[in-house]
A and B are shown apart, each in its own frame.
Chain A
């Protein structure tokens, strides 16, 4: 038993090493004073200074984060309410059909989604820019949120709701005091999934950016054509740290909640 445990630990360490090695490699070279990722000359922060001096890049970085947060929020609200609606469908066939439609949106290629959004926005006259990016990110995140929230709803016994109604709770109370607290972990998971999806999406975003509004993935993609410069490393490093902070704060929040529940 002891031996197996050791082996599985070793395996886990290996998996994490493989997953994190490229990121650490990238971050390591962002401190390189040389010009490329081939040899490390000496330590410098000049690439980070370049990033902070380039106000355009900073604005793009902030845009990316704002769009990710807002679109994740919007899609979480819509997706959560949507999945409550789906679970309320009594007809099994109809419910499955709605779910399949939801899944189709997840597997359909980004390029097609992006191109159709571009056409839609230009037809209805939405100017490409912040709004169009936000709307399309929210749109492609909703099915993911639905997928994260549904299992929690299915887990919930319907007698819980019946009991609440019997005890005189209004429909509103049932939603805010019974359903939402129960599915909260699913909601948070959906939110963070939506957040990451929005952060790393390139294909859809490319089509709907415009008028001076751009996100990091689009910017890095076109920068990389001229060979990956170490400035790209520095931005990627920054994004990695921002994500790290987000994940840690998520961890912190959920931990505190668990502690609170024990009290």
Chain B
């Protein structure tokens, strides 16, 4: 009995000591309400130095939390019990969040730096007039391939993936919209298609690709491509940038038929307790200098036109990261197609996966 009591006391003492340490190094404690801004963002999606700079400039302390998927993030905001002031969901999630009344309108008069954003990235279908969201980063879906292992290919067209010489070499992402999008785009159809006959035709076309498919996987693809274990993969531009940074033999291509343009945007959730601070933060992130610094750190493409001048010209002129106007016109943002259609996409994607052996 004595030893049990002793152990309990030791544990409590250790905890008290640890909590005291945490309290003394944690600068957020002791502040509340207007002094605090809670940011909920993807992991590794901001330069930490910018948070410090923001704190210094405004005196508002930032609490930074991270999530790993749009769905998980929305669940937590919808359920309440949190007070996130800023979140950075992708475009289709913003559409859903709007429908469920989870967002606050953004007062544009408090975000003068909005003028720096490229008009091409404003006023898009998922949020007309940008009432609820301000662009943060964007990118594309395309093909990353190893130029050393695959000589003489340029993957200028989606149809190149069907080339019989690529038997057992193509890696796809395990995501219904992206893969179905390949099928649809390769036939010149919209990747937001809701026409069942088009969707079925796309699936049948994809099934013909089956002999070429090496695997349908998630984030593991990054390491495989870097190690040279895989020849060609369907991926997002941000991920491709990471791969290319590690392995110089890799390159990225956006097929000419068109592709998906994805978007992450800053929004102010309903749960926000510091609306003014959130607006200040958005404005801060739209500042060309800060946007450039962030793009440099994260490695994704910034929608901030003024920031482009401050970035390494080699990156900005690289069509893999910043595609030409001509290609950009063929890029489309995902629409929220409703539960039923998404179900159909998933089912057809499953059918395709089942055709692989």
Q: Which residues of A contact B (CB under 8 A)?
A: 35-36, 38, 54-56, 58-59, 62-63, 65-66, 69-70, 73, 115, 118-119, 121-122, 126-128, 132, 176-177, 180-181, 184, 187-188, 191, 206-207, 209-212, 214, 218-219, 221-227, 229, 253, 257
- B9 smallest CB distance to A (angstroms): 11
Query: CB-CB < 8 A to A55: which residues of B?
Result: 25-27
> B124 within 8 Å of A by Cβ?
no
What CA separation (Å) do A118 and B79 show in the bound complex? 8
26 sample A-B contacts, Cβ–Cβ < 8 Å, listed by A number: A35-B246, A38-B227, A38-B246, A55-B26, A58-B25, A59-B26, A66-B19, A69-B15, A118-B79, A121-B81, A127-B81, A128-B82, A176-B1, A206-B72, A207-B76, A210-B65, A210-B76, A210-B81, A212-B38, A219-B66, A222-B42, A223-B43, A224-B68, A225-B44, A226-B44, A227-B242
What CA separation (Å) do A252 and B170 show in the bound complex? 54
What CA separation (Å) do A180 and B226 show in the bound complex? 56
Query: CB-CB < 8 A to B149: which residues of A?
Result: none
Query: CB-CB < 8 A to A59: which residues of B?
Result: 22, 25-26
Please, which residue of chain B has its CB at the minimum distance from the CB of A226? Answer: B44
**New A-B contacts (6) at CB < 8 Å, excluding given A70-B11, A180-B4, A225-B43:** A54-B48, A73-B8, A127-B81, A211-B83, A226-B45, A229-B44
What CA separation (Å) do A126 and B227 show in the bound complex? 47
What CA separation (Å) do A128 and B246 show in the bound complex? 39
What CA separation (Å) do A214 and B39 show in the bound complex? 13
Please, which residue of chain B has its CB at the minimum distance from the CB of A187? Answer: B4
> B121 within 8 Å of A by Cβ?
no
Q: Tell me if B15 and A70 are in contact (CB < 8 A).
A: yes
What CA separation (Å) do A118 and B68 show in the bound complex? 18
From A184, A191, A225, A257, B219 is in contact (CB under 8 Å) with A225
Query: CB-CB < 8 A to A219: which residues of B?
Result: 43, 66
- B85 smallest CB distance to A (angstroms): 11
What CA separation (Å) do A210 and B85 show in the bound complex? 12
Among B25, B79, B219, which residue has the most Cβ atoms of chain A within 10 A?
B79
Query: CB-CB < 8 A to A66: which residues of B?
Result: 15, 18-19, 22
From A187, A209, A211, A225, B38 is in contact (CB under 8 Å) with A211
What CA separation (Å) do A191 and B79 show in the bound complex? 32
Q: Which residues of B contact A (CB under 8 A)?
A: 1, 3-4, 7-8, 11-12, 14-15, 18-19, 21-22, 25-28, 38, 42-45, 48, 63-68, 72, 75-76, 79-83, 219, 222, 226-227, 242, 246
Query: CB-CB < 8 A to A127: which residues of B?
Result: 81
Q: Tell me if A184 and B11 are in contact (CB < 8 A).
A: no
Among A36, A55, A127, A222, which residue has the most Cβ atoms of chain B within 10 A?
A222
What CA separation (Å) do A172 and B215 show in the bound complex? 64
What CA separation (Å) do A100 and B43 show in the bound complex? 40
Query: CB-CB < 8 A to A65: which residues of B?
Result: 18
What CA separation (Å) do A113 and B25 show in the bound complex? 33
What CA separation (Å) do A58 and B21 show in the bound complex? 10
Given that A36-B246, A206-B72, A211-B82 are known contacts, is A177 also in contact with B1, CB under 8 Å in the complex? yes
Q: Tell me if A212 and B65 are in contact (CB < 8 A).
A: yes
What CA separation (Å) do A127 and B45 show in the bound complex? 26
Given that A70-B15, A122-B79 are known contacts, is A226 also in contact with B43, CB under 8 Å in the complex? yes
Among A56, A126, A184, A219, which residue has the most Cβ atoms of chain B within 10 A?
A56
From A38, A73, A132, B11 is in contact (CB under 8 Å) with A73
Query: CB-CB < 8 A to B67: which residues of A?
Result: 222
Please, which residue of chain A has its CB at the minimum distance from the CB of B8? Answer: A73
What CA separation (Å) do A112 and B1 show in the bound complex? 37
Query: CB-CB < 8 A to B222: which residues of A?
Result: 227
Q: Tell me if A214 and B43 are in contact (CB < 8 A).
A: no
What CA separation (Å) do A225 and B64 show in the bound complex? 17
What CA separation (Å) do A257 and B66 show in the bound complex? 44
Query: CB-CB < 8 A to B63: which residues of A?
Result: 211-212
Q: Tell me if B68 and A222 are in contact (CB < 8 A).
A: yes
What CA separation (Å) do A209 and B82 show in the bound complex? 9
- B138 smallest CB distance to A (angstroms): 16
Query: CB-CB < 8 A to A122: which residues of B?
Result: 79-81
Query: CB-CB < 8 A to B66: which residues of A?
Result: 214, 218-219, 222-223
What CA separation (Å) do A206 and B79 show in the bound complex? 13
Query: CB-CB < 8 A to B15: which residues of A?
Result: 66, 69-70
Q: Tell me if B4 and A62 are in contact (CB < 8 A).
A: no
Query: CB-CB < 8 A to B1: which residues of A?
Result: 176-177, 180-181
Please, which residue of chain B has its CB at the minimum distance from the CB of A213? Answer: B65
- A189 smallest CB distance to B (angstroms): 13
Q: Tell me if B28 and A212 are in contact (CB < 8 A).
A: yes
Q: Tell me if B64 and A128 are in contact (CB < 8 A).
A: no
Query: CB-CB < 8 A to A56: which residues of B?
Result: 64
What CA separation (Å) do A226 and B27 show in the bound complex? 27
Query: CB-CB < 8 A to A128: which residues of B?
Result: 81-82
Q: Tell me if A38 and B226 are in contact (CB < 8 A).
A: yes
- A102 smallest CB distance to B (angstroms): 22
Query: CB-CB < 8 A to A132: which residues of B?
Result: 81
What CA separation (Å) do A132 and B21 show in the bound complex? 21
What CA separation (Å) do A176 and B43 show in the bound complex? 49
Q: Tell me if B11 and A69 are in contact (CB < 8 A).
A: yes
What CA separation (Å) do A179 and B219 show in the bound complex? 52
